[in-house]
């Protein structure tokens, strides 16, 4: 899915495929191991990460891709690092991997297929819709919003409304 999105949006399909394959290397580690392995590597652990260690699988997976598979490509590592929470600064490759993770057919939620189709046509609109649905999910369950996701919202959900000039002014 990552490769398909990349082809549609001018990102490097080989990098997208590689990031897609390696993005969840640390996904099955329990919380205490995620915290310990990040601490050992001096991977920053913010307040949100401390309370929700599962999200650390993203930066730790990027580090493991380097250590175990000798991945040195900064763009690939960035896409792995940002695949869960997003970020205020995301390249097209970062977006492609983030969207593939959120919209892959194995996930089952209302509107998934429609949002995936939208993301195939328009990367920024796909980001807006996907981040918007994460936000709704979190708000409905009274779950906290990570600062990185808030920053991504600001980049994709707020600014484009002005930048895209959707109303033709
Ligand atoms: Fe993940």
Centre of ligand 1 from the C-alpha of residue 109, in Å? 17
Q: Is the pLDDT of residue 159 over 90?
A: no
How distant is the alpha carbon of residue 144 from its chain centre? 17
Read off the pLDDT of residues 91-136 as tens digits, 9 standing for 90 and up. 999 999 999 999 999 998 889 999 999 999 999 999 999 999 999 9
Q: Report the pLDDT averaged over residues 8-34.
A: 98
Centre of ligand 1 from the C-alpha of residue 52, in Å? 13
Q: Report the pLDDT averaged over residues 127-155.
A: 94
HSE-CB for 146 with a 13 A CA cutoff: 22
Q: Is the pLDDT of residue 160 over 50?
A: no
Centre of ligand 1 from the C-alpha of residue 27, in Å? 6
Rounded to the nearest integer, the mean pLDDT of the chain is 93
Longest dimension (CA), the chain: 53
Q: Is the pLDDT of residue 164 over 90?
A: no
Centre of ligand 1 from the C-alpha of residue 66, in Å? 17
Centre of ligand 1 from the C-alpha of residue 166, in Å? 33
Centre of ligand 1 from the C-alpha of residue 161, in Å? 29
What are the residue boundaries of the structural domains of the chain, listed by start? 2-163
Q: Report the pLDDT averaged over residues 1-18.
A: 98
pTM confidence score: 0.91
Q: Is the pLDDT of residue 166 over 80?
A: no
75 with 28: CB under 8 angstroms? no
Q: Report the pLDDT averaged over residues 151-155.
A: 94
Domain 2-163 sits in CATH at 1.10.3210.10
HSE-CB for 144 with a 13 A CA cutoff: 10
Centre of ligand 1 from the C-alpha of residue 61, in Å? 9
Read off the pLDDT of residues 33-50 as tens digits, 9 standing for 90 and up. 999 999 999 999 999 999
Confidence at residue 144, expressed as pLDDT on a 0 to 100 scale: 94
Confidence at residue 157, expressed as pLDDT on a 0 to 100 scale: 79
Confidence at residue 165, expressed as pLDDT on a 0 to 100 scale: 45
Contacts of 75 (CB under 8 A, 6+ apart): 12, 15, 91, 93
16 with 6: CB under 8 angstroms? yes
Give the burial string for 75-96 (b: 16+ CB within 10 Å, else e). Answer: bbbbbbbbbbbbbeebebbbbb
DSSP 8-state class, residue 12 = -
Confidence at residue 109, expressed as pLDDT on a 0 to 100 scale: 85
Other C-beta atoms closer than 10 Å to the C-beta of 106 total 6
Centre of ligand 1 from the C-alpha of residue 57, in Å? 7
Q: At what angle do helices 2-9 and 92-103 cross, to 10 degrees?
A: 140
100 with 5: CB under 8 angstroms? yes
Centre of ligand 1 from the C-alpha of residue 169, in Å? 40
Centre of ligand 1 from the C-alpha of residue 101, in Å? 7
Confidence at residue 158, expressed as pLDDT on a 0 to 100 scale: 67
CA–CA separation, 22 and 58 (whole Å): 10
């Amino acid at each position: 899915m990552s490769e398909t999105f990349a082809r549609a949006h001018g990102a490097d399909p080989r990098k997208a495929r590689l990031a897609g394959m390696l993005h969840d290397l640390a996904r099955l580690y329990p919380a205490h191991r995620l915290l310990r392995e990040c601490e050992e590597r001096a991977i920053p652990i913010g307040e949100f990460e401390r309370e929700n260690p599962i999200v650390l699988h993203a930066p730790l997976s990027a580090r493991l891709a380097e250590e175990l598979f000798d991945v040195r490509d900064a763009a690939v590592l960035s896409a792995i690092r940002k695949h869960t929470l997003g970020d205020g600064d995301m390249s097209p490759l970062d977006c492609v991997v983030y969207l593939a993770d959120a919209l892959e057919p194995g996930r089952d939620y209302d509107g998934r297929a429609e949002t995936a189709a939208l993301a195939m046509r328009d990367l920024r609109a796909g980001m807006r819709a996907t981040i918007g649905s994460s936000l709704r999910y979190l708000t409905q369950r009274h779950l906290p919003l990570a600062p990185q996701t808030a920053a991504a919202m600001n980049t994709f959900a707020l600014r484009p409304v002005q930048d895209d000039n959707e109303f033709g002014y």
